[in-house]
């Protein structure tokens, strides 16, 4: 299977998280989320949607389900920690940061993000000789943030050992109330529809992400249909640490092992995470991304 840098979590991510489960599958249908009365994001404060300071970190619980070309199904959960390890000032006043992603205390990926007056972008994924860039950097959130506005991006993105053509259309929706493992938030909702095509591979991604000022990404729901595999992924914030401020979930809460639940619904209780393997014959992968893109 080829891997492409796509909106937050690529299909390869789901494959890495899930275990073979012949009885897998779901009839889950997302319910509408409740709109809050207010959402506070002053003009010029858009950068607060992704607090880009060295040392900041987020912990996410990811629940994924996948089906490969042979019809084999699987699902599983895993925890990923995103840590900003470096921030470089840019000539235009923006910032370029490196995010290291850990799972089970091991580094599994590195990603770069650019934040400036025009928006938040993903620049590259992968470490060392595995690093691959988006050309141009892929849009995550355009600034200024305008509710009910649309935006587009097109370019080349990482896929396997090369690149593939990709395009996306995004919509900035009204803010909504969402529930995470940590807390309930008023969050900016962004919906993206993306497609890619390359040698022997093509696919589409439909994703919704929720962002909170001075917190960052708090939740994701994504469906991917590829020429080799299809998948459903849910990412939920578990904790975050900024400088001397740390916010952690209390109690034994966990997102359901089934595909994503309504973001307005409190997470279900779970006995713990399951570190699962991919169905036999499917390749390994990269972790979810804090922005729109991952894979190498």
pLDDT at 16 over 70: no
158: closest CA among 289, 16, 29?
A: 289
User: In the chain, how many domains are there?
Assistant: 1
Contact 56, 48 (CB under 8 A): no
Q: Which residue has the higher pLDDT, 285 or 48?
A: 48
Query: Would you state the pLDDT for residue 293?
Result: 42
For the domain that residue 177 is a member of, what is the CATH number? 2.40.360
* Average pLDDT of the chain, as a whole number: 77
Q: List Cα–Cα distances, 209 to 24, 128, 131, 223, 246, in angstroms.
A: 25, 29, 25, 12, 22
| Model pLDDT for residues 41-66, shown as the tens digit of each residue | 888 899 999 999 999 999 999 998 98
Tell whether 116 is covered by a domain: yes
Tell whether 121 is covered by a domain: yes
Query: Would you state the pLDDT for residue 233?
Result: 92
| Model pLDDT for residues 71-90, shown as the tens digit of each residue | 888 888 999 999 999 999 99
Tell whether 269 is covered by a domain: no
Contact 218, 179 (CB under 8 A): no
Say whether 77 sits in a helix, a strand or coil: strand
Interval 34-41 mean pLDDT? 60
pLDDT at 182 over 50: yes
Contact 12, 71 (CB under 8 A): no
Query: Would you state the pLDDT for residue 225?
Result: 87
Interval 1-28 mean pLDDT? 41
Q: Is the pTM of this model over 0.95?
A: no
Interval 239-259 mean pLDDT? 64
Tell whether 288 is covered by a domain: no
How many Å apart are CA 159 and CA 110, to the nearest integer? 16
Tell whether 289 is covered by a domain: no
How many Å apart are CA 170 and CA 150, to the nearest integer? 5
The strand ranges marked E within 117-253 are: 119-125, 132-142, 149-159, 162-179, 184-198, 201-212, 216-226, 229-242, 245-248
Say whether 148 sits in a helix, a strand or coil: coil
pLDDT at 255 over 50: no
| Model pLDDT for residues 184-233, shown as the tens digit of each residue | 999 999 999 999 887 777 888 999 999 999 999 999 999 988 777 789 99
In terms of residue numbers, what domain contains 94?
Answer: 11-24+51-248
Interval 161-170 mean pLDDT? 86
Tell whether 258 is covered by a domain: no
Q: Which residue has the higher pLDDT, 66 or 12?
A: 66
Q: Which residue has the higher pLDDT, 162 or 148?
A: 148
- Provide, rounded to the nearest whole percent, the portion of the chain with pLDDT above 90: 51
Query: Would you state the pLDDT for residue 86?
Result: 97
Query: Would you state the pLDDT for residue 140?
Result: 95
Query: Would you state the pLDDT for residue 5?
Result: 37
Helices (H) and strands (E) in the chain, counts: 1, 14
Tell whether 42 is covered by a domain: no
| Model pLDDT for residues 128-156, shown as the tens digit of each residue | 788 899 999 999 999 999 999 999 999 99
Query: Would you state the pLDDT for residue 24?
Result: 44
pLDDT at 267 over 60: no
Tell whether 293 is covered by a domain: no
Q: Which residue has the higher pLDDT, 158 or 275?
A: 158
Contact 189, 220 (CB under 8 A): no
Query: Would you state the pLDDT for residue 229?
Result: 78
250 CB-near residues (< 8 Å, 6+ apart): none
């Amino acid at each position: 299977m080829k891997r492409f840098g796509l909106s937050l979590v690529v299909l390869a991510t789901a494959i890495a998280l899930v275990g073979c489960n012949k009885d897998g599958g779901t009839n889950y249908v997302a319910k509408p989320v409740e709109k809050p009365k207010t959402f506070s994001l002053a003009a010029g404060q858009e950068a607060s949607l992704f607090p880009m300071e060295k040392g900041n970190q987020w912990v996410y619980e990811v629940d994924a389900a996948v089906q490969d070309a042979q019809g084999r199904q699987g699902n599983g959960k895993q925890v990923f920690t995103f840590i900003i390890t470096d921030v470089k000032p840019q000539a235009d006043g923006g910032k370029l940061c490196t995010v290291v992603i850990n799972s089970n205390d091991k580094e599994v990926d590195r990603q770069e993000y650019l934040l400036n007056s025009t928006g938040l972008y993903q620049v590259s994924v992968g470490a060392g000789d595995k690093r691959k860039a988006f050309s141009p950097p892929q849009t995550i959130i355009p600034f200024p943030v305008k509710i009910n506005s649309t935006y587009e991006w097109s370019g080349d993105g990482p896929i396997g050992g090369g690149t593939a053509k990709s395009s996306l259309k995004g919509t900035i929706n009204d803010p909504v109330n969402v529930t995470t493992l940590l807390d309930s938030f008023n969050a900016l909702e962004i919906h993206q529809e993306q497609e890619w095509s390359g040698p022997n591979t093509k696919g589409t991604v439909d994703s919704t992400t929720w962002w909170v000022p001075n917190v960052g990404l708090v939740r994701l729901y994504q469906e991917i249909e590829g020429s080799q595999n299809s998948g459903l992924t849910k990412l939920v914030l578990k904790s975050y640490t900024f400088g001397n401020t740390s916010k952690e979930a209390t109690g034994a809460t966990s997102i359901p092992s089934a595909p994503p639940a309504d973001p307005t619904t409190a997470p279900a209780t779970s006995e713990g995470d399951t570190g699962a393997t991919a169905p036999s014959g499917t390749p390994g992968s990269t972790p979810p991304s804090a922005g729109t893109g991952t894979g190498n």
